[in-house]
């Protein structure tokens, strides 16, 4: 049985969710961000208990097909931006997501916008800016290197987008020493 879980954004989330499901006596056959294959299929009562336990940990079982699709889109965006080298991707992220989910991009875009109230492109930009903030805080890369790593055409393009989202230029952001990074599951 496939279970879909909202707010899984990292390897620790996967570990915690897997542990919870195993505590309920389920065998986890496969697990990735937001999607788990378990057996045996839990009955309705056990499913409710699992949902309650997950909610305490900040996760949510998703049962509506549209919500599952939106969560899959979010997980693809997070995986691409936070766990991939965007400089090696030679097509738009939206094309990659459509291919990975084997769905028409216009359909994905419509579903995402209906549920979240913003476009996939804007969600991608939010995620990219959070990753840029993280990389800037590490201090290991300069802005040109960050722009390249994040798939921007130039540091000027990155700076413009950064200021649009945060109201700060990257250099002003670094000077303010504000740690106003947002958790990945709280974006939107």
Structural domains of the chain, with CATH = 2-63 (3.30.70.100), 66-122 (no CATH), 127-186 (1.10.10.60)
Whether residue 185 has pLDDT greater than 80: no
For residue 41, give the DSSP letter: P
Could you tell me the pLDDT band of residue 76, with boundaries at 50, 70 and 90?
A: very high
How confident is the model over 143-155, as pLDDT tens digits?
999 999 999 999 9
pLDDT value at residue 101: 95
Count the alpha carbons within 13 Å of 116 in the hemisphere toward its beta carbon. Answer: 24
User: Looking up tokens 């798939």, which residue turns up?
Assistant: 151
Report the C-alpha gap between 8 and 136 in whole angstroms.
24
Based on C-alpha coordinates, what's the Rg of the chain? 18
Report the C-alpha gap between 174 and 178 in whole angstroms.
8
How confident is the model over 16-75, as pLDDT tens digits?
999 999 999 999 999 998 889 999 998 889 989 999 999 999 999 988 888 889 999 999
Helix (H, G, I), strand (E, B) or coil at 57: coil
Whether residue 110 has pLDDT greater than 80: yes
pLDDT value at residue 77: 95
How confident is the model over 121-179, as pLDDT tens digits?
999 999 999 999 999 988 899 999 999 999 999 999 999 999 999 999 998 888 876 56
Q: What is the mean pLDDT of residues 82-106?
A: 93
φ, ψ at 142 (rounded to 5°)? -85, 175
* Total residues belonging to the chain: 188
Distances (CA, A) of 65 to 3, 6, 14: 11, 13, 21
Contact call for residues 177 and 187 (beta carbons, < 8 A):
no
Helix (H, G, I), strand (E, B) or coil at 128: helix
For residue 161, what are the contacts with CB-CB under 8 A and spacing of at least 6?
Answer: 125, 128, 129, 152
56, two tokens? 């305490």
Report the C-alpha gap between 89 and 128 in whole angstroms.
14
Distances (CA, A) of 96 to 87, 101, 144: 14, 9, 24
pLDDT value at residue 180: 67
């Amino acid at each position: 049985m496939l279970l879909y879980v909202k707010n899984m954004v990292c390897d620790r989330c996967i570990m915690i969710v897997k542990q919870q499901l195993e505590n309920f006596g389920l065998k986890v056959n496969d697990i990735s961000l937001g999607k788990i294959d378990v057996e045996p299929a839990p009955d309705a009562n056990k499913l409710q208990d699992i949902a309650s336990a997950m909610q305490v940990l900040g996760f949510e079982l998703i049962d509506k097909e549209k919500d599952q699709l939106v969560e899959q889109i979010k997980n693809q965006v997070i995986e691409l931006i936070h766990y991939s080298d965007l400089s090696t991707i030679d097509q738009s992220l939206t094309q990659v997501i459509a291919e990975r989910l084997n769905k028409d991009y216009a359909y994905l875009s419509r579903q995402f916008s209906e549920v979240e109230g913003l476009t996939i492109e804007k969600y991608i930009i939010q995620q990219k800016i959070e990753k840029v903030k993280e990389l800037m805080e590490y201090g290991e890369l300069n802005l040109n290197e960050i722009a390249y790593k994040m798939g921007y055409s130039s540091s000027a393009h990155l700076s413009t987008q950064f200021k649009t989202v945060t109201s700060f230029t990257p250099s002003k952001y670094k000077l303010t020493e504000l740690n106003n990074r947002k958790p990945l599951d709280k974006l939107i």
